[in-house]
Structures are given as structure tokens and as C-alpha cells.
Amino acid sequence: MPKLKKEKLLDMYRKMVRIRKFETRVEELHVQGILPGLKHLYIGEEAVAVGVASCLREDDYIGSTHRGHGHLIAKGGDVKLMMAELYGKKTGYCKGKGGSMHIADINIGILGANGIVAANIPIVGGAALSIKLRGTDQVAVSFFGDGGANEGIFHEGLNLASVWKLPAVFVCENNQYAISTSQSTTCAVAKIADRASSYGMPGFTVDGTDVLSVYEVTSKAVARARKGEGPTLIECRTYRFKGHYAGEGSRELTYRSQEEVEKWQKMCPVKRFKSYLVKEGIFTESFLEDIDHQIGEEIEEAVRFAEGSPYPLPEDALEDLFVEEM
């Protein structure tokens, strides 16, 4: 296990709890019919986003997915602006134009969530190309799922990033189901990381429920990218505790069993990390419970901010099609 400072561990813990509580609240608001539209919850996968993003600097880039809330929070996204966006309010990250699947914050390197599976792979590749051309030591990270690894752009993107030796890290969050279809029936290799060899880059499979394991593997890949040695493919084995979308309900039992869900819930990444921190004597349980409480308050404040914010004017829909400065 990597030796990490207490502040770093606490920051990681906070982010994992922030994701869990944000998503739990989003689910409640969805069930109450308050939030419009589609939401894909990240509950159960927190260790991946936090393990990866904890290896990054603010000026590094990430490209996210339709299931993006966790990545954004882990990279430092503002939960108030995120929540307001989910409400469709003018104060949201995208002024209500994007919603759950299209949040970006370019100032902290978030190149955007993306509603099209695997579509951020070449965009992140392009950010890595930009880094190389500008001569900085930034790194660009693409998140995608096991479903995304079967899109053609996965092949085009990883190949080109490797050919040009770009400072990129490709993180496959293998939560084992592309909506309802099991990876075991759609992927010709048992480990998605094995595909790395086709692109002349290292590939690793890691326990995606253990934030420190994810951190350890990613930190090496990030160091390699920063040194100009090229990209890495990391497969994080994880599981989404909820359905593909918020509100999937009992349909999830058409493709996976209750026993399977419960088995993975026993490996809850947030609980695992919390008990590690307590067991190792790094923090006391009551200290971490205070943290949990503070973050719960933070999320409630985000909800209040969103609820108190104005909607955009209908005709605001016609703004922002182009930059108008020419």
C-alpha cells in the first residue's frame, strides 16, 4: 500500500463520502419527482473516481461519462453548481443547458461528462496531444465503462494515443454490465486490460472497490505519462449498487440477482476505506462520523442553493450556440 499523508487520506475519504451522499440525495430527489431527466448514479464506484483523481493536479484533465457525478466531485467539482444544473437552474454549471450528462468545468480540467458511450476517449486523447504540443507536464485521464471498451472509438483512440506516446491514462470502470448486458457475453477477453497489449501500452486490472489499490496503480500510470513515456490502460473491477439509471427499480433483477448485488454491497468502497482508516488508527470512528455529518450538511446546502436559484428564461435557450466575439 502507498504511504499517504493523513491530509491526503482525509481528502480522499471526504470525496468518497461527498459522492455517496450527493448521489443518495439525487436519488431521493428523483424518486420525489423533483429532478427532471435522466440520472445515472455512481453509488458503489466511488473508489475508482477518487483513487484516480487523487493522483491528479488541478491542471490535469479528465473526460467523464454519462455516469459522471463521481468523477466531477473527485476532480474538485462544486456540488452546489452541480446540483443546480441537475435542477435545470440558471446558476448550474451549464446554465441549465447540459444537465446530468453534460457537466464541464474547464478551469479545473473537467472536459465534460459525455452522454455518448466512450466518446470522451478521443477528446481526452486530443487534450493529451495539446499537452504534448504545448510542452507542459499535465496528464489527461479518460473514464469509460466496460460497455465503452466495445465501441470502435476505444480502438481508434487508444491506438493513436499510443502511437503518438501521449500523456494519457485510460481508466475502464468495469462495473460488469453495459445497461443490462453482462461483460462476460460481450467481451472476447476476460480482462479488458489485456487489450492494452494490442496498443503497445501497459494494462492493469485492479480491485476497483479499494481506493488505495486504485490510487497505487494510477499513480504509476500518471507518473509514466508525466515523464512522456506514453499512455496506460487501467481496468478497475467495480459494481454499481443501483440500476443503470435512477428509477430502474426491479428491472435490475432481470439481469442480475439480489445475491450478486448483496455480495458486492458487502465490499462497499466507502465502508471499506472507513474501516481501514479506523483499524489502522489513522482516524477515530467518531472523527469520521463528524466528517460524514459535515458533508451531509454540505449536500443539503447544495440542495438549498439549487432550490433557491432561478430557472433560466425560456429564450435563454437561443444563447450560447456560438462564441460571438468575432
Partner 1 sequence: MREITYGEAACEAISEEMEKDNRIFYMGEDVGRFGGAYGTTKGLWEMFGDERVKDTPMSEAAIIGFALGAAITGMRPIAEIMFCDLLCLAMDQIVNQVAKIHYMFGGKVKVPLVIRVPFGGLRRAAAQHSQHLEAWFLHTPGLKIVVPSTPYDVKGLLKAAIRENNPVMCFEHILLYQTKGRVPEGEYTVPIGKADVKREGKDITVISYSFMLHRCLSVAEKLYKEGIDVEVIDLRSLYPLDMETVIASVKKTNKVAIVHQASLTGGVGAEVGMRITEAAFDYLDAPVKRICARDVPVPFSPVLEDFVVPTEERIEEEIKKMV
Choose between 55 and 103: whose C-beta lies nearer to partner 1: 103
Burial of 148 (0-12, 13-18, 19+ CB in 10 A): buried
Q: Could you tell me the CA-to-CA distances from 290 to 57, 105, 112, 283 in Å, in that order?
A: 27, 29, 32, 11
Give least dist CB 190 to partner 1, A: 27
Using CA atoms, how far apart are residues 273 and 14, in angstroms rounded to an integer?
Answer: 11
Q: Of residues 140, 225, 233, 306, which one binds partner 1 by CB under 8 A?
A: 140
User: What are the angstrom distances between the C-alpha of 133 and each of 61, 173, 200, 295?
Assistant: 15, 29, 22, 40
Distance of alpha carbon 25 from alpha carbon 177, whole angstroms: 24
Residue 159 CB, nearest distance to partner 1 (Å)? 6
Judged by CB under 8 A, which stretch of 112-120, 172-180, 197-205, 299-307 contacts partner 1? 112-120
Ranges within 24-63 binding partner 1 (CB under 8 A): 61, 63
Q: Are strands 203-207 and 232-237 parallel, antiparallel or unpaired?
A: parallel
Q: Which listed residue (35, 74, 111, 201) binds partner 1 by CB under 8 A?
A: 111
Shorter beta-carbon distance to partner 1: residue 58 or 300: 58
Sheet holding 140-145, edge to edge: 61-63, 140-145, 168-174, 232-237, 203-207
Instruction: Check residue 322 for interaction with partner 1 (CB under 8 A).
Output: yes
- Single out the residue of 7, 32, 33, 133 in contact with partner 1 (rule: CB under 8 A): 133
What residue type is 257 in one-letter code?
S
The stretch near partner 1 (CB under 8 A) out of 152-160, 197-205, 206-214, 259-267 is 152-160
Q: How far is the CB of 51 from partner 1 (least distance, A)?
A: 23
The contact mask relative to partner 1 for 58-87 (x = CB under 8 A, - = no) is ---x-x------------------------
Cβ-based nearer residue to partner 1, 12 or 153: 153
Which one-letter DSSP state was computed for residue 219? H
Bridge partner residues of 145 (DSSP): 173
Residues that bind partner 1 (CB under 8 A): 61, 63, 92-98, 102-104, 106, 111-112, 114-116, 119, 121-131, 133-134, 140, 152-153, 156-157, 159-160, 163, 319-323, 325-326
